[in-house]
Amino acid sequence: MARTTFGLFERQRSQLSFWLVIGLIVLLVAVLEYAGVLIWMRGGLEQGVRPLLRTGALIVRVVRYPAELIRVATRRYTYVLDLELRYAESAAQLSELERLRQENQSLRTILEGEQATRSATGQQRRLAAVLSYAQPTIGLGNQDGLKEGSAIFVQGALIGKVTQLTEHQSQVKLLQSYGAGDLLLVQTETGVSGLLSGDGQDILFKELPIDAQVEVGQRVETSGQVGVLPRLYIGRIESIRREEGSPTQTAVIDQGVSLYRTSIVEVLP
């Protein structure tokens, strides 16, 4: 019991000492404030701390400047990446639209060619399988009613003629291989006439007067000559070649079809 009473007394004395010290400190501060000592001390502290504050502010600015540059550069880089992504998506969409436009144009050309050729010939054409692409050969011959010069079509476009026949096979000479002895008389849809031949790769619409009104996209069809009916669809003008000082110009014809992309052709006996 005496020990417990002694412990309580010690705690009370400690608390009393603590509050006594606090009171003395407050009293000391009040006396110093009244005497103006604290004002002088605050001024001295401010004078001493001010350079440190300026130095600290300078350090903060120095540290923040590169960080700000990095932040701005990162934001701009992200913006550029976003622009590049949007550009790539737009380019892909434009490419797809252009591909669809070209496909539609090719389909329209093929349909127009088929309609024009069928209305021009008024004859029944026969289907023939392509037997060889290395030396173009089809699976019809003289026993099937073909003869040399019979016209060969792919999807309505005249692509060549029969040159050599056996009983049930025929070789095909493509327009790209037409030489001086195979010239065709052809004309545009506006009536500009010329000669058609090949250079081994392209189909050429030659001997056009330099002042003739020919344009890219115009239809080209046969004019009619011995052994060749008129208005057989050939293709459309793809490009025009003009040489300085030449009195004529040459157009390159795009057919939109090819023997090498089909397994079946049509033959006009």
Determine the pLDDT at residue 98: 81
Could you tell me what percent of the chain has a pLDDT over 90? 45
Determine the pLDDT at residue 43: 63
Please report which confidence band the pLDDT of residue 255 belongs to, taking 50, 70 and 90 as the band edges.
very high
Q: Which whole number is the average pLDDT over 2-14?
A: 63
Q: What is the rounded distance in angstroms from the CA atom of residue 129 to the CA atom of residue 125?
A: 13
Q: What is the rounded distance in angstroms from the CA atom of residue 267 to the CA atom of residue 224?
A: 18
Predicted confidence (pLDDT) at residue 73 exceeds the cutoff of 70: yes
Average pLDDT score, the chain: 82
Instruction: Kindly state the helix (H) or strand (E) to which residue 210 belongs, with its residue range.
Output: none
**Cβ neighbours for 7, distance < 8 A, ≥ 6 positions apart:** none
DSSP characters for 11-32?
A: HHHHHHHHHHHHHHHHHHHHHH
Q: Which whole number is the average pLDDT over 182-190?
A: 92
Determine the pLDDT at residue 72: 77
Determine the pLDDT at residue 41: 66
Q: What is the rounded distance in angstroms from the CA atom of residue 259 to the CA atom of residue 131?
A: 11
What pLDDT digit, counting tens, does each position of 151-177 carry?
999 988 999 999 999 999 999 999 999
Listed by start position, the domains of the chain span: 2-64
- pTM, entire model: 0.56
What pLDDT digit, counting tens, does each position of 95-132 carry?
888 877 766 665 565 555 555 555 544 557 889 999 99
Determine the pLDDT at residue 245: 87
